[in-house]
Amino acid sequence: MSPTVQPWSLAHPHAPTARPVWSTEDELLFVTSLGAWGTHRRARVPLLRRYLAACAHRQDWGQIDAGHVQLQVERLLAEDEPETG
């Protein structure tokens, strides 16, 4: 089950400048909150699909566990997409 969606600034416990590197936790919070923050909210499924497609082109994940993040995006898509068949 995905965490409650909150605006990015409220969801993360530390200010961006207080962290030395972007972590897997940071990326998970980001993808979980896609479409749910900002002045123009958007449907999450298209954003998650685009994010997943872009993962194939990302060469430097830094300290981020790419497999873990991609699996979470797939789980979020499965939760949000209507079942077919």
Cα 30 to Cα 40: distance, rounded to the nearest angstrom: 16
Q: Is residue 54 part of a domain?
A: yes
Q: pLDDT tens across 8-64, in order?
A: 555 555 565 566 788 999 999 999 988 887 667 678 899 999 999 999 999 999 999
Alpha-carbon distance of 37 to 6, in angstroms, equals 7
Is the pLDDT assigned to residue 72 strictly greater than 80? yes
Report residue 14 CA to chain centroid gap. 17
Residue for token pair 């994010």:
51
**What pLDDT, on a 0 to 100 scale, did the predictor assign at position 10?**
56
Structural domain including 57 reads 22-80
Domain annotation covers residue 75: yes
Check: CB of residue 70 under 8 Å from CB of residue 55. yes
Comparing 43 with 85, which gets the higher pLDDT? 43
- Which amino acid, one-letter code, is at 44? R
pLDDT score for 15: 62
In a domain, 9, yes or no: no
Number of domains in the chain: 1
Q: pLDDT higher for 3 or 14?
A: 14
At 70, the pLDDT band (50, 70, 90 cuts) reads very high
Instruction: Give pLDDT, residue 22.
Output: 87
